Homo-oligomer: A and B are copies of this chain.
């Protein structure tokens, strides 16, 4: 059973398959923000998208972080640990060297459970 949410010109934002939820690459809209600010904006969007699929940040499984500013990992992690409860941390990887749209410091993809 597949359920798709928020159709766009090239993708859906969220696709549910059984009790697994896939969320596509999220970036901050406000490119003037620093890494911490961009991450906070992404996590705000992620909260909304998870809710749309009937789940929440407590059920994250895998988060992949593609960064265009590797050395700003500390700012990302600051927003990350403020957002998530430690007992429900997902697995993750923070991969630098990504080329993203202009001004975008980080892009995040997500797999969660329902």
Residues of A within 8 A of B (CB): 2, 4, 7-15, 17-20, 22-25, 59, 61-62, 64, 66-68, 70, 77, 80-81, 86-100, 107, 109, 111, 113
Contacts and interface: CB of A to CB of B under 8 A. Distances in A.
Contacts of A23: 91
B100 A98 contact: no
* This protein's copies in its complex: 3
A94 to B, nearest CB: 7
B61 A2 contact: yes
Dominant secondary structure of chain A at its interface with chain B: strand
Given A2-B113, A97-B98, A61 B92 contact: no
The 4 closest A-B pairs by CB, nearest first: A25-B93, A96-B99, A24-B91, A97-B99
B77 A15 contact: no
A22 B62 contact: yes
